[in-house]
Amino acid sequence: MSDFSAQSVIAKLRQRQTPNRDAMAWFAQGLADGTVSDAQAGAFAMAVCLNGLGDVGRVALTMAMRDSGDVLSWDLNGPVLDKHSTGGVGDCVSLVLAPALAACGAFVPMISGRGLGHTGGTLDKLEAIPGLSTQLSERRFRDTVTKAGCAIVGATADIAPADKRLYAVRDVTATVESMDLITASILSKKLAAGLDGLVLDVKTGSGAFMKDIGQARELAEALTKTANAAGCRTTAIISDMSQPLVPSLGNALEVAEIMRVLTCGKGQGPIVDVCAALGGVLLANAKLASDVQSGAEAIVAAIRDGRAAERFGQMVASMGGPVQFTENWARFLPEATVIREVTAKQNGYVSGMDAEGLGHAVVALGGGRRVETDKVNWAVGFSDVIRLGAKVTRGQPLGVVHAGRSDQADAAEHALRKAIEIGPKPAVIPELIQERIG
C-alpha cells in the first residue's frame, strides 16, 4: 500500500509545506491514471495557486509530470534542441527556426500546440498545408527528425499525461495564472522530448499573455531556473509582441509569409531577427557555434541561402504534405472566398495597436477555436497589416481581410479599424529583443 494519498499532499500544500519529490511523483501518476479525482486535482491546483511551491517544489512537480508518461531518448549525430514560445500574434517563428537549426547541424523534435485564446497555434498553421498531419506515430516522428533534422508535431496521449489532466482542471477552476503550474505545464512536455538544450521566447506587449515586462521576466526566470535544475540547459529571451511579428495573421496566410522568408530571398525583418536571437543562443549553448553572435549569423545564413527551405520541404513531405511544396507553395495553400482591402479614413501615424484584438478577430473569422470541437478555416485572417509607427494618408491600405462570407468580412473590417490607432504622432516602438535570461 502506498505511503501517499491525495489528501496528505493537498494538506501539506494548504499548510504552506512543499511535498517531497516522491509525493509529487505519486500525485502526478495519480493524475495520469485516474487515481486522483477531479475534485482532488482542483484542490491541488488551488492550493498551489494560493500558496506556491517554491523553486524546489516547482522542479519536483515539473519532473513528476514529465515522468508520468513516455520520455524520449535519441541516438543522433548532433544535439537535440528545441524552442518554446509563450504565445503571440502573427508569430510563426517555429516554422522558420526549426529547419534553420536543422540546417546548422541540430536535431529538433518540436512537440507543439494548437491555438490558445487569441494566439495562433503552430500545429494549426502547419495543417493548412494539404495532406500534412501533425499527429505522427513515434516511429514516423523519429524517422522525420532523423532524415529532415526537424519535425513539428502534437503531443501523443503518452507524453506528460498528468499535464493534460491538470491543464483541463485548471481551466475550470480559475487557476490558469499560477506561475508554478504554468512552468510545470510548459516544461513537462518539452523535457519529455529528451532535449539537450532549450530556448524560451517569452513574449510581452499588447499581443502577449504577459503584457507587463515584469510578469514576463518573472515567468522567464521561473522557466529557466526550473529547466536548468531538471538537467536541460535553458535560456530565455524576452521579445516584444506589441504588434504582429509578420504582417499576416491566420494559418495559411502565415505559412505564406514564412515561405516568402525561406524561398524568396526575404531573409530579413522581425521574424528573422527573433529566429537569429533564439537560434544563436541554442547553437552557442550546444557548442555548434563559438558564441551567440556567430550562432545568430549561422541561422540567418541558413535562411538566406535556401538550406532552411530545403529542410522545411523535407519535413513537409515526410509528414504527408506535397513533395514539391517548397517549389510551388502558393499553388497548394487555400484561399479565402472574400478578400477585401481596408483603407484609412484619415491622415496621421499608426500610434498604437491592439494586437490581442486582431488575434480575437481571426478566431471570430473561423481561423481559431473557441471550443476544442470547432472546425478551423485555414484560409481566413488578415494580410498586409500596417506596422506600428507608419505614416498613413487617407485611402491608404491598413490591411487586407480574408473571410469566408461577406458578413464575416464586415465584422473583421470593423475589428481591424478598431485595433489600429491613428494619431498625430507615431508610436514609440519597443526594442524587439528586450532581455536574455539564463
Least confident of 317-321, 370-374, 413-417: 370-374
**82 an active-site residue?**
yes
**Residues sharing a CB contact under 8 Å with residue 403, sequence separation 6 or more, in sequence order:** 336, 337, 338, 339, 340, 365, 380, 409, 412
pLDDT digits (tens, 9 = 90+) for 10-23: 999 999 999 999 99
Q: Which residue has the higher pLDDT, 59 or 155?
A: 59
C-alpha cell at 242: 506589441
pLDDT at 119: 60
Catalytic residue among 66, 125, 164, 190: 190
| More confidently predicted of 169 and 394 | 394
345 is catalytic: no
User: Is residue 91 annotated as part of the catalytic site, yes or no?
Assistant: no
Instruction: Give the model's pLDDT for residue 9.
Output: 95
Q: What percent of the chain has pLDDT over 90?
A: 82
Sign of the torsion formed by the C-alpha atoms of 162, 318, 304 and 260 = negative
Q: What is the pLDDT of residues 198-253, one digit of tens each?
A: 999 999 988 777 788 998 999 999 999 999 999 999 999 999 999 999 999 999 99
**pLDDT score at 407:** 96
Among the listed residues 58, 125, 170, 402, the single catalytic one is: 170
Note the Cα 427 to chain centre separation in Å.
26
Partnered with residue 197 across adjacent β-strands are 81, 233
Q: How far is CA 392 from CA 346, 396, 420, in A?
A: 8, 6, 11
For the segment 360-374, the average pLDDT, to the nearest whole number, is 82
Q: What is the pLDDT of residue 264?
A: 82
190 catalytically annotated: yes
pLDDT tens by residue, 416-428: 999 999 999 988 8
Bridge partner list, 152: 110
**239 belongs to the catalytic site:** no
Q: Which of the following is catalytic: 66, 118, 189, 311?
A: 189
Residues listed for the chain: 438
Give per-residue pLDDT as tens, 271-320.
999 999 999 999 999 999 999 999 999 999 999 999 999 999 999 999 99
Instruction: Indicate if 122 belongs to the active site.
Output: yes
pLDDT at 341 over 80: yes
Determine the residue type at 154. Answer: G
Is 84 known to be catalytic? Answer: yes
Catalytic residue among 58, 66, 83, 165: 83
pLDDT at residue 424 in the model: 95
- What's the whole-number average pLDDT of the chain? 93
| 1 contact partners, CB below 8 Å, separation of at least 6 | none
Query: Of these residues, 18, 67, 70, 82, which one is catalytic?
Result: 82
Question: Which of 86, 122, 234, 383 is an active site residue?
Answer: 122
Does 189 participate in catalysis according to the annotation?
yes
Q: What is the value of pTM for the model shown?
A: 0.92
